[in-house]
Amino acid sequence: MNNIIKGKKFNWELVVGIEVHAQISSNSKLFSSSPTKFGSTPNSQVSLVDAAMPGMLPVINEFCITQAIKTGLGLKAKINNKSIFDRKNYFYADLPQGYQISQYKHPIVGEGKVEIDLPDGQSKKIRIIRLHLEQDAGKSLHDQSPNKTYVDLNRSGIALMEIVSEPDLSSAEEAAIYINKLRTILRYLNTCDGNMQEGSLRADVNISVKKTGEKNGTRCEVKNLNSIKFIKQAINYEAKRQIDILEDGGNIEQNTLLFDSKLGITKMMRNKEEAHDYRYFPDPDLLPLEIEDKFISDIKNTIPELPDEKKQRYIDQYKLTKYDSSILISEKDTSEYFEKILISNQELKNHTKIISNWIISELFAYLKKDDKQIKQSPVSPENLGKLILLIVNNTISGKIAKEVFEEMYVNKSDPQSIIENQNLTQVTDTKEINKIIEKVLQNNQDKLSEYKNGKNKLFGFFVGQVMKNSNGKANPKIVNELLKEKLN
Amino acid sequence: MKIDKKTILKIAKLSKIKLKENEIEEFANNLSSILDWVEQLNETDTDNIEPLNNVSSSKLPLREDKTVSNNSSNQVLNNAPEKVEEYFIVPKVVE
Amino acid sequence: MDFKSIKEIKTHLLKRKISIFELNEFFIDKIKKSKINAFIFFDEDLIRKRCKELDSIKNDLPLKGIPIGVKDLFCTKGIKTTAGSKILQNFVPTYESFVTNKLNNSGSVMIGKTNLDEFAMGSSTTTSYYGDTINPIATDKNLVPGGSSGGSAAAVSANLCLGATGTDTGGSIRQPASFCGVVGIKPTYGLCSRWGIIAFASSLDQAGIFSNNVEDASILLKEIAGYDKNDSTSSDITIPNYFKKINENIEGKVIGIPKEYDLPNIPDEIKIVWEKARKKLEKGGAKIINISLKHTKYALPTYYIIAPAEASSNLARYDGVRYGYRSKSQNNLEEMYESTRSEGFGNEVKRRILIGTYVLSAGYYDAYYIKAQKVRKLISNDFNDAFKECDAILTPTTPSPAFQIGQKEDDPIKMYLNDIFTVPASLAGIPGISIPFGKSKDNLPLGIQILSKHFNEQVLFDLGLFLEKNNE
Ligand SMILES: [Mg+2]
Ligand SMILES: [Zn+2]
């Protein structure tokens, strides 16, 4: 793909690497038994350990280890049999211990990869450097009072996976696709809910630019982006900022930045000189985490079919296009919806393309308008399957089907009863259709003679009139055939 | 290792300990002599020796993913020097 | 009736020769009259309430009614816990430490919280924000009780309680036991849970016991030891009944004498006592062998890198945000942190935080911290090798008897040298006991230290009992 950015003087390339902080789905925190529920009253989910009361000690949550390994396997990564928890020391109001327990030199998961599909149909491999476990910090609220900061420790100690990519991304779009793909994988694995609004998935983005063919420039890190829109904005803003500086003969300094989402710009948080000295060292309250191969292989057996494999299966088994497949698998819930239609209506197995079209165009459009997730769809997969069956059986026309679908969506009703109640069944009786054709030709003698004199275009007009006179219920295919017989 | 004023101030900053003018030299001297003294470790040959983090021979115990709801706010806010409603309160960070 | 042996008093209590109330009133009275500042917290009404509560319990408990002092490093529910520091001057835990909870369940009476060096950093109990504790052995001489658990050692020595808890990171039980003429045991790292003990250096901290005699120490240790799922470094082993198994017949035991402990600059009075203990053991049928602990010399400098490094991180939580002291200067968060910690910590604590921060900081980590951890490995290997040849190791506990208050304050390294014989065992995590044995030329108590391999506390009690009985 061509990702060249044209500056005033030179052509530039973007180099982007992302550190994702993904909150692990678990009942309790990484090193304490406090619940992890989002949106609880302040400081109501804080144990003595989370508040770093004197003499309190961490005890690790086994399920969080399982989740990290599961994610590692989903990223086709190497799982390390031995990993070590370190303390990352710094002071902050919402960091009760004065250090974060994290994994520095010896992470639980090593090198892996994520495949992303680019809009031009190509795919690209993004290398993962590592995945490590660490604690989240609490929350500081700066806007409650002019000179005070309010601290809520509910989030303090929740388990995070930090997933670090190589700088293999070359545009804001690629970054967005990568985050989406990563989120899909996490959701398939059920290891993180991927909810960016609630902060379950946050990204630190490292951005640099280079002239084509030259080596990577100095990078800046934009911290804590919590939406894909902001990630894209921040990357594009930074790219332009850095290119402008370089083209004006300046240098990029290795700074840590924050993104101001209101203004759409990045701002300096600290420069290289102010960089923290975190004084990492192995946490003496914890022993090394040793994992046996059996533990890993047991987890491997629980890994569901992942998006890439599912997509390939849709292409092979259902003969769907790559594009349709990738849309259907992009959310686990969508692929489940699709597969439920097939399960509930065996006769549809040779009609996967029409099912796919109905989901991607009709259903998605309705859901999007209502800002609903597919799980909340008023039209159940079983009912959509029935509707599609009525179409392929020629019981109703596609046009009628759209009306029926609207009715199904609004009233959560099943297609059969709608059709019966409103007498929408398609007319396939040739006698009846012939009657209508007679009537139409009768009423349009002038057009008929024009047609006979060679104005072939008018064929469509007659089809339309017949359909109209049947209130849309006539089977268009039969109408066509009968009209052809009559006119030629 | 001689600890100069700049170094001791940097370390104090990292430790969040403010040193008074008269303490700076005293602590710098203390640290210098302690560091000089510990440097005798360099006499030992530690090639191929694994660092010893913890003497425990046990395996890291793993906890089940169960929650203990402790209705914690009273418990953790009990000793707070300053609180409002359910929040800890600290002076604002200056950027 | 003399109030010095738990074993004896237990039988008196059972036979109703004395009541729990009478016993504890005796100690309340003594504490009120005492002038050695052994306690930071003492509340006689609370003690009486506890006696009433115990009196209403029908069945016997291992320590029912026995008054025990608790080092003010153990968090006690509803009772102020300070670690000897101003920064925790108003801290009241809502929880009880694992060890003191066990003691309570055993029926003991928490008689008071004992003084200590601030955050257990020291060898003199003169760095406490709550004043110096005076060694009760010779109050006119104004001697230190040793430290950091000096309040506990002094309280037992002055007969203000029948036993006390301590913690030992580099000698903080054994050294004050030696200075105050009582028994002090630091068990194997991981034998007692650290949960609820204010941390100094997590990889070294271990709870232990002070008592008037070895048998009492064996009774008390069983009551505080045991696995705790809330301490990830706690060991899941069965705790033996040390007291029942105790055996002063030491015939055939192999005792190692490490040549590296025979330092040229330690006074003769120390060497003489060491020699005497050796002879006694030999006479009792033990086999004495010479061993080598090659890296002994490097134990102290190793310790003074590792312990401050861990402490600098462990003490980061004292920031004035959630509990404890907060400075009045708080125009912004940074200023609040710095003022709180500058005003809240004493000089020795600051010194160690600064050292610890330095050895962990970028550029120095490998040269200091990693180097120290490697030497720690060598020291631990030395002990492992030695215990292939012997059952126990015999050394002096301290290089001198108790010194005067204020004497070593100006020179931190001089102060650190107090722990020269106790620190190696701490680094290796092995158990050690100090038994009062012999006297200095000024008639001050001295201690002899016995070390053994991991979880072999029993041999310490066996040999200790023998030496106790053969100490004239
Ligand atoms: Mg980052
Ligand atoms: Zn992180």
The model's pTM is 0.92
- Interval C432-454: pLDDT, tens: 999 999 999 999 999 999 999 99
Tell me the CA–centroid distance for residue A199 and ligand 2, in Å.
Answer: 13
Q: How confident is the model at residue A246 (pLDDT cuts 50, 70, 90)?
A: very high
A152 touching B (Cβ < 8 Å): yes
Measured between alpha carbons, how far is B25 from B11 in angstroms, rounded to an integer? 13
B contacts of C229 (beta carbons < 8 Å):
61, 63
Kind and range of the H or E run holding A400: helix A398-411
Q: Which amino acid is at C381?
A: N
> Domain total for chain B?
1
The residue among A87, A279, A285 with the most chain C CBs within 10 A of its CB, best to mutate, is: A279
- CA atoms of A76 and A164, how far apart (whole Å): 14
Q: Say if residue C148 is preceded by a cis peptide, omega within 30 of 0.
A: yes
pLDDT for residue A1 is more than 60: no
User: What stretches of C319-442 show up as alpha helix (H) in DSSP?
Assistant: 333-344, 347-360, 371-386, 412-416, 423-428
Tally of domains in chain C: 1
| Among the partner residues B14, B65, B73, nearest to A28 by beta-carbon distance | B65
Residues of A with Cβ-Cβ distance to C362 under 8 angstroms: 277, 279
Residue A485 scores a pLDDT above 90:
no
Ligand nearest to the CA of A102: 2
Domain residues for the domain of C324 are 1-472
Give the count of beta carbons closer than 10 Å to the beta carbon of residue A374.
19
Encode pLDDT of C214-228 as tens digits.
999 999 999 999 999
**Residue B71: predicted pLDDT:** 62
CA of A158 to the centre of ligand 2 (A): 12
Residue C363: name the closest of A91, B11, A283 by CA.
B11
Q: What is the average per-residue pLDDT within A93-113?
A: 98
Domain that holds residue B38: 5-42
**Cα torsion for A396, A400, A406, A412, to the nearest 10°?**
-20
Contact criterion met (CB below 8 Å) for A199 and A225: no
Indicate the angle between helix axes C20-33 and C6-14, nearest 10 degrees.
140
For chain A, say whether B80 makes contact (Cβ under 8 Å). Answer: no
Say whether C91 and A89 touch across the interface (CB within 8 A). Answer: no
CB proximity list for B12: less than 8 A, separation 6 or greater: B18, B19, B27, C354
User: What is the CATH number for C246?
Assistant: 3.90.1300.10
Helix (H, G, I), strand (E, B), or coil: what is residue A87?
Answer: strand
Please report all neighbours of A, defined by 3+ CB atom pairs within 8 A: B, C
Chain A CA closest to residue B56: A287
pLDDT at residue A487 greater than cutoff 90: no
Decide if the complex's ipTM is over 0.90: yes
Q: Which ligand is nearest to the CA of A19?
A: 1
| Residue at A104: amino acid letter | Y
Which whole-number Å values give the CA distances from A48 to A33, C195, C395, C457, in the listed order?
Answer: 10, 11, 41, 32
Q: Give the pLDDT band (50/70/90) at residue B95.
A: low
Q: What pLDDT score was predicted for residue C407?
A: 86
- What CA–CA distance (Å, rounded) separates C335 from C327? 9
Amino acid code (one letter) for A36: T
Of residues A476 and A60, more confidently modeled: A60
Q: How many CB pairs under 8 A join A and B?
A: 122
Q: Do C333 and B54 touch (CB under 8 A)?
A: no
- pLDDT of A480 higher than 90: no
What's the CA gap between A319 and A332, in Å, rounded?
Answer: 19
pLDDT of B70 higher than 70:
no
> Which tokens hold the place of A464?
């339309």
Q: Is residue B25 part of a domain?
A: yes
Contact A166, A129 (CB under 8 A): yes
Give SS3 for B12. Answer: helix
pLDDT digits (tens, 9 = 90+) for A386-430: 999 989 987 887 888 998 999 999 988 889 888 877 777 777 778
Q: What is the pLDDT of residue C318?
A: 98
Distance between CA atoms of C190 and C89, rounded to whole angstroms?
Answer: 29
The pairing of beta strand A220-225 with beta strand A256-260: parallel
Average pLDDT, chain A: 93
- Tell me the pairing of strands C67-71 and C163-168: parallel
Q: Which of A37-41, A140-144, C150-154 has the highest mean pLDDT?
A: C150-154
Q: Which residues of chain C have pLDDT under 70?
A: none
Position B23 in a domain: yes
pLDDT confidence tier of residue A474, bands split at 50, 70 and 90: confident
Is the four-CA dihedral A212, A214, A217, A221 of positive or negative sign?
positive
Measured between alpha carbons, how far is residue C136 from residues A234, C29, C153, C287 in Å? 69, 16, 9, 36
DSSP, res C18: S
Q: Is residue B89 part of a domain?
A: no
- Position of tokens 């942190």? C337
Please answer whether residues B28 and B39 qualify as being in contact, where contact means their C-beta atoms are separated by less than 8 angstroms: no
Domains of chain A: 4-299 (no CATH), 307-421 (no CATH), 430-487 (1.10.10.410)
